[in-house]
Structure 1
Amino acid sequence: MATSVPMSQATTLHATDEEAVLRLPHDVERGAPDGTERGGPAGKSLKFASASEYPGSGTREDPYRVDWDIGDADNPFNWSKTRKWMITGQLALSTFTVSFCSSCYSGGLASMSAELHISQTIAILGVSLYVLGFGLGPLVFAPLGELYGRRIVFVLTASVFMLFHLGGALGHNAATILSTRLLAGIFGSAPLTNAGGALSDMWVARERGFATSLYGTAPWMGPVLGPIVGGWVSQSRLGWRFSFWIMFIVSALNALSYYFLTPETFGPVLLRRRARRLTKASGRAVLFVSRFDINRSVSLSAVLKRDMGRPFYFLFTEPIVLLLAIYIAIAYATLYAFFAAYPIVFQERRGFSEGEGGLAFLGIGVGNLLGISLAPIQNKLYWRAMDRNDGRTVPEARLYLPMVGGIFLPISLFWFAWTSDPPIPWIVPVLAGIPFGFSCAIIMQGLTQYLMDAYSIYCASAIASTVILRSVVAAIFPLISPALYHNLGDAWACSVFAFLASACMPVPFLFYKYGAWVRSKSKWALRDNVPIHTEPPSRADFDDKKVPEASEKAVV
């Protein structure tokens, strides 16, 4: 039988790790050379004993259910902190890369429009289609990551993503450039959801605050630096096409970093591979199956059918997911609206060059850095809440900083709106970007962490819901921004976004007060009134609704 240990704040074992001592049955032992079998990339020995301590009988009807050892070195939760931080940094860099490529394109819109003889609206479509791809890719890549592992999805999609930048570098018409931008967005989207799942594969809730902050801030820092690089490159003798070569180079480095630095982190896939090795080591005399695959189909069609629809199901049935997705979409899409608005405000109205117009985004970048610098404060507040709750996860304790950000976001947008027009000095609207970037960073960090804690094993599906909605809205906002600015004027056009942000401002406050009650009504979210499991149920149990509570680990 599997053995368990009490869960504490100091333990390296995660709440979803059902500990078991790894032993093979007597009939396997007799066929094993020297009593050992090599297994796993880390060179772990599969030890043999005279009796199986796995539950099951080894038959097809009742296979041995494979689980982690106590302190298992192959369990990502037991990896060293150095290794975890290396992987976390690489995943944050990959998220930064795909978001950087979304906006680097925008720095050369004027030059590209002139050379290809296309309108500004058609040129901006390159931003919108790319971001729209962010919403399409996760529908396929998240289920594929569950079935085949996160690493193979990261490596393959990053390699294809790199190649599609050649469409802009070498293409000679708008159709080629726009179609490859859409495809680049689709294949670049994998880290936007799967990287969040990979973080929850390694970090327990108490430890993952700063790691999640890096992941949550990267999608905001990339779009800020992109226009600066793209703008200066486009106005130089290198021309706007060299921006695509820069994207190609950055994407190539990203693909190589996946290949050399990112191992497989998804626990169910690692256990599935171990089960196959054990079955093979037995001469297929007995059958071993990962505990996550019991009573679950692992065929591609079944996984796609089950998981592709879950983000949409969450959007329409889970109030937490719906309202947070709307809030994130408004903040995220407003940033992308600025890719069309900043050229109007600073280049058309104030005579900035493309490079100087890109520098106007530095205010947002400074705000983002301020936002991530507050992550340690949020972590301390969260730890105190956990200590008051006997070490239990307290999702609502992730909402302290989003409540602050909810206040500053509309203030920053009204500030920018009513200081955009000359003769007000240009530095004033640029400085408005600091509270905007700050508020967006802490909103994104806190709400992402809240979804991870509240939806635990299904957090990647919940995050995918927000990615889909924010990508659709972010694809629309850049297209409508020029019309808003030309028809309403700079002040009232940006005020529209400020009013939307004001309408969303109460959301974190409402969930801070009533979030626990809302979660108690959900079939999928963590419930506070259910005891912590030292031997948590398998994911199959959740799918069959055999237990009311989700554990902490996100796996989709």
Structure 2
Amino acid sequence: MAKPEMYRHPTRSEIIELAVAEGHDADIPGNAGSIHQVHSHTSRPRSLRKKHESEKPSAMAIDKDVEKGDTAGSISSDEEAADMNEEDPNVVFWDGPDDPENPLNWRETKKWGTVTLVSGITFLTPLASSMFAPGVPQVMATFNSTNDMIEQFMVSVYVLGFAFGPMIIAPLSEMYGRLPLYHSCNGLFIIFSIAAAVSTSMTQFVTFRFLMGCFGGAPMVLGGGTIADLISREQRGTAMVVWMMGPTVGPCVGPIIGGFLTEAKGWRWNFWFVAIIAGALMLMSVILMKETSAPVILERKARRLRTETNNPKLRSKLASDLSPADLFKFSIIRPAKMLTRSTVCLAMSVYIAITYTYLYILFTTFTAVFKSQYHWTGGVVGLSFLGIGLGSLIGQFGFTYFGNKTVNKHIERDDFNPEHRLYTMCVGGCLIPGGLFWYGWSVQASTHWIVPILGTGLIGFGLLMTFMPATTYLVDVFTVHAASAMAASTVLRSLCAALVPLSSSKMYKAMGYGWGNSLLGFVSLVLIPIPFLFIRYGEKIRARSTVKL
């Protein structure tokens, strides 16, 4: 029987790959350890370890130029490799390759049941971001508001929560494990969903929507790591595709459900519906889910063995030398440094933020557009989101097929570099402005409703073909610190998607749907050269990088 990947000593590339899935950087110890030597066999206190380690360059203290692929401080020398393989009786690890405590050795039904639950939760929380969009006019009437800015903000404020919640959830999960964060965030998400359903003022409603977003982002932070904990590399791709369907398709499916639910029961039932489904999923997760984080499981095992054997020197092999303060510092400061000091990270994050913002501009205006231009009423309004949903779904599969085909071709030639990820982005970037022009002028001319729906489908396809390659490019460029680069991109896109749509109604009133969407299209046209420039000059740009972390 082959050894589980967590039992043998993983390679540097495997550590990086697993760290990205877990949502942290590869110099922070995770299920496969760290790319830096962690002296978990020492029993000295942290303060003494710091004093001792100051006598030689520390892996955590060495400046690394992440865009140049500098691997200073990583496990590379024979001496370090030998040290990693050193047998130490005080190091606690799995009891052989078949240890039942290792989540990779759990029963298949238990593993895939957990993946199914996590995927369900990850589908629900993005769905809740836009589900009540068709009911916005009812909400405005309930609270006697005519403020256009509030009308847009009540939809996008949920995404603002996505910018702040994960920055705290991620480091907490490194310290306390995934399960406590799942349960606590799910519970708070349900509480604030109910609070939104019974809101008595616009202020209460917007505040509770924001808090729903803060805690609703938890499964998107934790889900990839849970899948990596449970599923072997050979099967992980399938599980990740299923899990990614939530953030991709959920926001587009939500308004379709919400349109008919609002018509039948009123806008408050959108939140009761979310709370009921989230409650059922939470009940199932409390009963069925177990902790999957290897560092946390091994730390509990080491604690138990220290008590049973009265040996205080026992330490988990995956123990971290990082303090809680360090984890928070890396989770917050690193993404900010990368966003402000890296040309690659800034350019890709801005591109992603603008395209993601277009999605929420459309989400916040579809209801008004199809009511005023096509006189759609009731639950039928929710069907206006169908085009962008199907386009996004097709884009997801299109990127997976063509992106992998292109990358594998260059890997076989042994000439692969991160810029090869951007070929599909060139296609997506060209489709977005075309879709915006198509949608805007067909609505302006009041053509048959299928025409603008097809235009939004083209936009959805282009968005996914742009968003996905840009994200994977950041992973390939920043490798060890890929999670920080992705966090920087996530924060910027969430802020833009929450705030920019506030002016969309005024834009359409001033310019009309044709020229309003054309303005967005012209901005997209300006962005088109970015992937082409990086394909040609990206390697030189990275070579001149000055980002030190």
What's the TM-score bracket when you normalise by the shorter of the two chains?
Answer: 0.7 to 0.9
In structure 1, what is the Cα distance between the partners aligned to 2:367 and 2:84? Answer: 66
User: Residues 201 and 384 from structure 1, CA distance in 2 versus in 1: closer, same or farther, beyond 3 angstroms?
Assistant: farther
In structure 1, what is the Cα distance between the partners aligned to 2:195 and 2:118? Answer: 25
User: Residues 210 and 53 from structure 1, CA distance in 2 versus in 1: closer, same or farther, beyond 3 angstroms?
Assistant: closer
Among candidates 354, 367, 383, match of residue 391 of structure 2:
367
Q: Which protein has greater RCO, CA pairs closer than 8 Å, 6+ apart? A: 2
8 Å CA contact retained: 1:14, 1:77: no
Where does residue 454 of structure 2 map in the other structure? 431
User: Shift in Å at residue 145 of structure 1?
Assistant: 1.2
Give the unaligned 5+ runs of structure 2.
1-5, 20-25, 27-31, 35-40, 42-82
User: Shift in Å at residue 205 of structure 1?
Assistant: 7.6
Letter of the structure 1 residue corresponding to residue 137 of structure 2: A
In structure 2, what is the Cα distance between the partners aligned to 1:383 and 1:210? Answer: 18
8 Å CA contact retained: 2:127, 2:253: yes
| Residue range with higher mean Cα deviation, 306-315 or 471-480 | 306-315
Among candidates 316, 335, 339, match of residue 363 of structure 2:
339
Query: 2:260 matched to 1:232?
Result: yes
In structure 2, what is the Cα distance between the partners aligned to 1:472 and 1:6? Answer: 37
What is the TM-score when the length of structure 2 is the normalising length?
Answer: 0.77
Where does residue 101 of structure 1 map in the other structure? 128
Query: 2:305 matched to 1:282?
Result: no
Letter of the structure 2 residue corresponding to residue 378 of structure 1: G
Among candidates 442, 458, 482, match of residue 459 of structure 1:
482
Q: How many equivalent pairs are there?
A: 483
User: Residues 288 and 165 from structure 1, CA distance in 2 versus in 1: closer, same or farther, beyond 3 angstroms?
Assistant: same
Query: 2:332 matched to 1:305?
Result: no
Query: 2:499 matched to 1:476?
Result: yes
User: Residues 347 and 322 from structure 1, CA distance in 2 versus in 1: closer, same or farther, beyond 3 angstroms?
Assistant: same
Query: 2:339 matched to 1:319?
Result: no
8 Å CA contact retained: 2:7, 2:94: no
User: Shift in Å at residue 493 of structure 1?
Assistant: 1.1
Identity value in percent: 33
| Residue range with higher mean Cα deviation, 134-143 or 68-77 | 68-77
Letter of the structure 1 residue corresponding to residue 195 of structure 2: G
Letter of the structure 2 residue corresponding to residue 434 of structure 1: G
In structure 2, what is the Cα distance between the partners aligned to 1:211 and 1:3? Answer: 22
Structure 2 SS opposite 1:284: coil
Where does residue 249 of structure 2 map in the other structure? 221
8 Å CA contact retained: 1:98, 1:188: yes
8 Å CA contact retained: 1:347, 1:354: no
Letter of the structure 2 residue corresponding to residue 313 of structure 1: K
Among candidates 211, 216, 220, match of residue 183 of structure 1:
211
Query: 2:379 matched to 1:351?
Result: no
User: Shift in Å at residue 108 of structure 1?
Assistant: 0.6
Among candidates 428, 439, 449, match of residue 405 of structure 1:
428
What is the TM-score when the length of structure 1 is the normalising length?
Answer: 0.76
User: Shift in Å at residue 76 of structure 1?
Assistant: 5.5
User: Shift in Å at residue 160 of structure 1?
Assistant: 0.8
Give the unaligned 5+ runs of structure 1.
20-24, 26-51, 59-63, 526-544, 546-556
User: Residues 84 and 320 from structure 1, CA distance in 2 versus in 1: closer, same or farther, beyond 3 angstroms?
Assistant: farther
User: Shift in Å at residue 169 of structure 1?
Assistant: 1.7
Where does residue 42 of structure 1 map in the other structure? none
Q: Which string of whole-angstrom CA distances, capped at 9 and with x for unpartnered residues, describes residues 295-336 of structure 1?
A: x233x3332233222221221123332222212211211111
8 Å CA contact retained: 2:341, 2:547: no
Query: 2:193 matched to 1:169?
Result: no
8 Å CA contact retained: 1:150, 1:266: yes
Query: 2:158 matched to 1:130?
Result: yes
Where does residue 407 of structure 2 map in the other structure? 382
Query: 2:476 matched to 1:449?
Result: no
User: Shift in Å at residue 481 of structure 1?
Assistant: 0.6
Structure 1 SS opposite 2:376: coil
In structure 1, what is the Cα distance between the partners aligned to 2:493 and 2:540? Answer: 26
| Residue range with higher mean Cα deviation, 101-110 or 69-78 | 69-78
Structure 2 SS opposite 1:360: helix
Q: Which string of whole-angstrom CA distances, capped at 9 and with x for unpartnered residues, describes residues 41-79 of structure 1?
A: xxxxxxxxxxx9974867xxxxx4555677465555677
Q: Which string of whole-angstrom CA distances, capped at 9 and with x for unpartnered residues, describes residues 364-406 of structure 1?
A: 111122123332443344344434439xx85444434333212
User: Residues 3 and 121 from structure 1, CA distance in 2 versus in 1: closer, same or farther, beyond 3 angstroms?
Assistant: closer
User: Shift in Å at residue 489 of structure 1?
Assistant: 1.0
User: Shift in Å at residue 507 of structure 1?
Assistant: 3.2
In structure 1, what is the Cα distance between the partners aligned to 2:505 and 2:317? Answer: 54
| Residue range with higher mean Cα deviation, 271-280 or 418-427 | 271-280
Where does residue 553 of structure 1 map in the other structure? none
Structure 2 SS opposite 1:248: helix
| Residue range with higher mean Cα deviation, 64-73 or 223-232 | 64-73
User: Residues 85 and 243 from structure 1, CA distance in 2 versus in 1: closer, same or farther, beyond 3 angstroms?
Assistant: same
8 Å CA contact retained: 2:338, 2:547: no
User: Shift in Å at residue 248 of structure 1?
Assistant: 1.0
User: Shift in Å at residue 420 of structure 1?
Assistant: 1.4
